[in-house]
């Protein structure tokens, strides 16, 4: 499968199945609309006739030969022969867990998918007892997986921070018995960050996700306190402190959400950069199209333009020798994950699960509260392997749109929860997010091509 696009003055050709990326001239670009395997020894007459109106015949022949050469090297029109791997490697140990440590929140962000923190099930905090059971569950189910990930999530996890500390201490003790290694992440809105908490987080958490939307007015429009006032002034101060005290080799990033209200979100990325943050993720809100802030089909042209603007800004920073990592433009064309990993993406419900304060187990945090996907309960010691099996089969070859999509090895079939919520089934691609995903990928590949051509 070959995907080609023009961006920023470049003609780019991606060979999806091999991962090959090529920068080509206009003639090759147009010729690719007219040829495909099996190839002849020489450029077919009908193609010559068609293109000779715009190009020189000798050049067309030369280009045809170059295309055939890449085809023979298997980096253009290469075959998709990965389906066998999707069928082979199915059931997996569980290696990652999202702990919904607090189904409660001290902010009232308008777009919150957790319905202001309680996931529609009442405000609750996880007890240490339940946390312990979750750690034991993960240790026991993780098979030969060495690295175990545990994400403290909410609601707002700082509202139950004593339990976070107890769970970390417990997990650190037990990981030794099992010869494993826990990696903790915490996602926070920053309101309750104190010096003590920052210390603990910087010491124990291998990643920290700091939620902030960008410009003050943008942030404060959506990320409000219970009394309706904005959160920006307090959180930006706390986040700066946390980042300044963090070891350089540990991960962190600020992440924001853009909505219909700030389709000029490149300004928000730059605002965060100018405040001193250079690890940034800003992403589209996923919401019921009826919500006034929801992104809809009609916003797409504007959003595409904004990603182009943002990619130019990132390029400018790079030209000035500055560093800024915008997450969705980060792509490794040579050394990224293996093809097997790319067939399934997040692994929710198969190697990743979420646990609620009640000890209920769901395929991931976005499925919390959807009863038909409840996998079990820690107190009852139940776990439904049929649901795990169902999710383990959710690879790109079982998703009709993904199977024929050029972006499948980068996107890996999208978000199963979004697919379920907005397209009716975990196997149905949610078109709106596909289109945004594909645009981001094109921008990311374009930036990489510029960089590699420079080298």
> What tokens were used for 184?
């903790």
DSSP letters, 310-379, are HHHHHHHHHHTT---EEGGG---TTT---HHHHTTTT-BTTTEEEE-TT-EEESSGGGTT-GGG--EETT
Pick one of 413, 421, 445, 446: the residue that binds ligand SF4 (CB under 6 A). 413
Distance CA 8, CA 445 (A): 11
Residue 127 binding target from ligand SF4, other proteins, none, CB below 5 to 8 Å by type? none
Q: How far apart are CB 291 and ligand SF4 at their closest, in Å?
A: 18
Nearer to ligand SF4, 12 or 364 (CB): 364
Distance CA 431, CA 108 (A): 29
Residue 300 binding target from other proteins, ligand SF4, none, CB below 5 to 8 Å by type? none
Q: How far apart are CB 212 and ligand SF4 at their closest, in Å?
A: 20
Taking the CA atoms of 221, 222, 225 and 226 in sequence, report the sign of the dihedral they define.
Answer: positive
Taking the CB of residue 334, how many other CB atoms lie within 10 A of it? 8
340 binds ligand SF4 per the rule CB under 6 A: yes
408 binds ligand SF4 per the rule CB under 6 A: yes
417 binds ligand SF4 per the rule CB under 6 A: yes
Q: How far apart are CB 317 and other proteins at their closest, in Å?
A: 18
Torsion angle defined by CA atoms of residues 425, 430, 433 and 435, in that order, rounded to the nearest 10 degrees:
150
Distance CA 162, CA 359 (A): 18
411 binds ligand SF4 per the rule CB under 6 A: yes
| Residues 343-372 within binding reach of ligand SF4 (CB under 6 A) | 346, 348, 352, 364, 366
Q: How far apart are CB 196 and other proteins at their closest, in Å?
A: 25
Q: At what angle do helices 195-204 and 232-245 cross, to 10 degrees?
A: 50
Query: What distances in angstroms separate CA 221 from CA 90, 229, 240, 451, one per listed residue?
Result: 44, 9, 21, 37
Q: How far apart are CB 24 and other proteins at their closest, in Å?
A: 5
Nearest C-alpha neighbor of 387 from the set 441, 334, 348, 423: 348
Nearer to other proteins, 191 or 331 (CB): 331
Residue 252 DSSP symbol: -
402 binds ligand SF4 per the rule CB under 6 A: yes
188 binds ligand SF4 per the rule CB under 6 A: no
Q: What is the end-to-end Cα distance of the chain in Å, rounded?
A: 27
Instruction: Determine the interface stretch with ligand SF4 among 42-50, 54-62, 195-203, 336-344 (rule: CB under 6 A).
Output: 336-344
Residues 6+ apart with CB under 8 A from 244: none
Nearer to ligand SF4, 44 or 337 (CB): 337
Instruction: Determine the interface stretch with ligand SF4 among 44-52, 54-62, 137-145, 415-423 (rule: CB under 6 A).
Output: 415-423
> What tokens were used for 414?
């999208």
Q: Using the CB atoms, write b or e for 54-90: b if 16+ within 10 Å.
A: ebeeeebeebbeebbebbeeebbbbeeebeeebeeee
| 325 bridge partner residues | 279
Q: How far apart are CB 363 and ligand SF4 at their closest, in Å?
A: 7
Q: Can you give the length of the chain in residues? A: 455
Q: How far apart are CB 416 and ligand SF4 at their closest, in Å?
A: 4
Nearer to other proteins, 144 or 380 (CB): 144
Residue 438 binding target from other proteins, ligand SF4, none, CB below 5 to 8 Å by type? ligand SF4
Q: How far apart are CB 98 and ligand SF4 at their closest, in Å?
A: 8
Q: How far apart are CB 56 and other proteins at their closest, in Å?
A: 12
> What tokens were used for 165?
């500390």
Q: How far apart are CB 301 and other proteins at their closest, in Å?
A: 20
Pick one of 6, 115, 302, 341: the residue that binds ligand SF4 (CB under 6 A). 341
> What tokens were used for 265?
């979100």
Nearer to ligand SF4, 68 or 423 (CB): 423
Instruction: Determine the interface stretch with ligand SF4 among 74-82, 119-127, 307-315, 337-345 (rule: CB under 6 A).
Output: 337-345
Are residues 270 and 258 in contact, defined by beta-carbon separation less than 8 angstroms? Answer: no
Q: How far apart are CB 165 and ligand SF4 at their closest, in Å?
A: 26
Nearer to other proteins, 86 or 166 (CB): 86
Pick one of 414, 427, 439, 444: the residue that binds ligand SF4 (CB under 6 A). 414
Q: How many CA atoms lie within 13 A of 247 on its CB side?
A: 11
Nearer to other proteins, 164 or 407 (CB): 407
| Residues 126-155 within binding reach of ligand SF4 (CB under 6 A) | none
SS3 6: strand
| Residues 422-441 within binding reach of ligand SF4 (CB under 6 A) | 429, 434, 437-438
The residues binding ligand SF4 (CB under 6 A) are: 337-338, 340-341, 346, 348, 352, 364, 366, 399, 401-402, 405, 407-408, 411, 413-417, 429, 434, 437-438
């Amino acid at each position: 499968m070959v995907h080609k696009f023009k961006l920023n003055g470049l003609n780019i050709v991606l060979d999806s199945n091999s991962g090959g990326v090529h920068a080509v001239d206009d003639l090759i670009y147009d010729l690719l609309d007219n040829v495909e395997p099996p190839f002849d020894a020489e450029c077919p007459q009908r193609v010559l006739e068609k293109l000779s109106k715009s190009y020189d015949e000798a050049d067309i022949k030369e280009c045809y030969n170059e295309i055939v050469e890449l085809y023979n090297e298997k980096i253009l029109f290469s075959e998709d022969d990965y389906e066998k791997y999707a069928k082979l490697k199915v059931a997996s140990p569980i290696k990652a867990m999202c702990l919904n440590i607090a189904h409660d929140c001290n902010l009232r962000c308008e777009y919150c998918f957790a319905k202001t923190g309680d996931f529609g099930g009442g405000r609750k905090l996880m007890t240490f007892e339940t946390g312990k059971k979750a750690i034991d569950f993960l240790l026991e189910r993780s098979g030969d997986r060495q690295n175990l990930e545990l994400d403290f999530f909410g609601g707002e996890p700082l509202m139950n921070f004593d339990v976070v500390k107890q769970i970390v201490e417990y997990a650190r003790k037990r990981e030794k018995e099992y010869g494993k290694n826990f990696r903790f992440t915490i996602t926070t809105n920053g309101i309750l960050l104190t010096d003590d908490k920052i210390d603990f987080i910087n010491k124990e958490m291998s990643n920290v996700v700091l939620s902030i939307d960008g410009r003050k007015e943008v942030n404060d429009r959506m990320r409000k306190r219970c009394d309706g006032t904005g959160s920006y002034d307090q959180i930006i101060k706390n986040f700066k402190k946390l980042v300044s005290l963090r070891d350089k080799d540990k991960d962190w990033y600020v992440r924001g959400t853009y909505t219909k209200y700030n389709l000029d979100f490149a300004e928000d990325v730059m605002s965060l950069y100018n405040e001193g943050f250079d690890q940034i993720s800003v992403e589209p809100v996923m919401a019921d199209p009826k919500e006034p802030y929801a992104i809809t089909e009609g916003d797409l042209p504007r959003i595409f333009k904004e990603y182009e603007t943002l990619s130019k800004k990132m390029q400018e920073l790079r030209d000035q020798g500055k560093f800024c990592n915008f997450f969705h433009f980060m792509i490794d064309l040579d050394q990224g994950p293996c093809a097997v990993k790319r067939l399934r993406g997040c692994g929710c419900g198969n190697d990743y699960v979420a646990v609620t304060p009640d000890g209920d187990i769901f395929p991931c945090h976005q499925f919390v509260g959807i009863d038909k996907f409840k996998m079990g309960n820690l107190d009852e010691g139940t776990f439904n392997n049929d649901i795990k099996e169902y999710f383990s089969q959710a690879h790109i070859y079982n998703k009709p749109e993904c199977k024929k999509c050029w972006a499948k090895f980068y996107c890996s079939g999208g978000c199963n929860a979004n697919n379920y919520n907005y397209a009716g089934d975990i196997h149905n691609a949610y078109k709106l997010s596909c289109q945004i995903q594909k645009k981001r990928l094109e921008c990311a590949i374009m930036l990489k091509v510029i960089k590699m051509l420079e080298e």
